[in-house]
Amino acid sequence: MESFGWAMLPVGLGDLPTFLALGSLAAMLTSMAKAGFGGSIGMLSVPIMIYACGKEPFLAAGVMLPLLIVCDYVSLYKWWRQWDYRAVWLLLPGALLGVAGGGVTLYLLQRMGMADSRLNQAAKAWLILGIGVIALWFVILQAFRALRKKPIAFRPVLWQGTAVGALAGYTSTLSHAAGPVVAMYLLPQRMPPARFVATTVLYFWIGNQVKLVPYFLLGLIRFDTFGASLLLMPAIVFGALLGVTLHKRVGQRGFPWIVYTLLALTGAHLVISAARELW
């Protein structure tokens, strides 16, 4: 790294050109999704970022969070006050518990890694396995939704919002992959499209900033990881502009299924590689 003049970057980052290429792609996909194109295309960003960081899931999580927060602020401005306050409010108590639980889990995984190099590899493999399973579960969920002829509308109560919020907070803290959980909660409420997107944006704007607390405490975000995040910021701007342009000009009927196919393949690869490491 120092030969490239990038001594401020994390030691475990691996190959710099690979990080710049795949990391920029992950940042761009996240920004495109937040800008309104491709919907679930942002789910691809987490597995890609793991590959960008040399299959180091803890490092990938720390690099990814500042990028997500920048996207959240841009999206918040775009969808200002179009959200459903009640739907978000019901999620928040559980989300706080979920973030705390996710932070404890990350701490235990880190401690496993410090105790023994073999446990370190096992901890990383378990986290990669979880991300792969979430990716596959999301694809299955989307396929199930496509088969349903008529969605059932419901108005959630506190315990439902708390339960979903806890699962979303926990999943988001471990792998930045709570999109399927939140979508599962919001979609059956049959909101207008603009309100659905705005409500999702508001929830993640709050949730991602709450995650800063355990990430800083656990050392997942440091000076060097933030330096890596800064390198990828131009891709955020490019992705936002590209997402807005494509949203206006490109039909999105068949596009999501391309994304789901790629996500299924990526998720399957993560699951298989983690399973080989563990068993």
Q: Is the pLDDT of residue 7 over 60?
A: no
Q: What's the average model confidence in pLDDT over 270-278?
A: 78
Q: Which domain holds residue 44?
A: 2-278
Q: How confident is the model over 72-123, as pLDDT tens digits?
A: 888 888 788 888 999 999 999 999 999 999 999 889 888 776 545 565 567 6
Query: 149: Cβ–Cβ under 8 A, 6 or more apart, which residues?
Result: none
Task: Tell me what the pLDDT averaged over the chain comes to.
Answer: 79
Q: Write down the pLDDT at residue 256.
A: 58
The structural domain count of the chain equals 1
Query: 83: Cβ–Cβ under 8 A, 6 or more apart, which residues?
Result: 195, 198, 199, 201, 202
Share of the chain above pLDDT 70, in %: 77
Of 34, 29, 62, nearest to 48 (Cα)?
A: 29
Q: Write down the pLDDT at residue 217.
A: 95
Residue with the larger pLDDT of the pair 192 and 210: 210
pTM of model > 0.85: no
Give the CA count within 13 Å in the CB-facing half-sphere of 198. 15
Q: What's the average model confidence in pLDDT over 138-155?
A: 67
Q: What's the average model confidence in pLDDT over 130-157?
A: 70
Q: What's the average model confidence in pLDDT over 48-73?
A: 89
Q: Write down the pLDDT at residue 74.
A: 83
Max CA-CA distance within the chain? 59
Q: Are 62 and 220 in contact (CB under 8 A)?
A: yes
* H-helix or E-strand spanning residue 64: helix 57-78
Q: Are 35 and 243 in contact (CB under 8 A)?
A: yes
Q: What's the average model confidence in pLDDT over 167-174?
A: 88
Q: Write down the pLDDT at residue 257.
A: 65
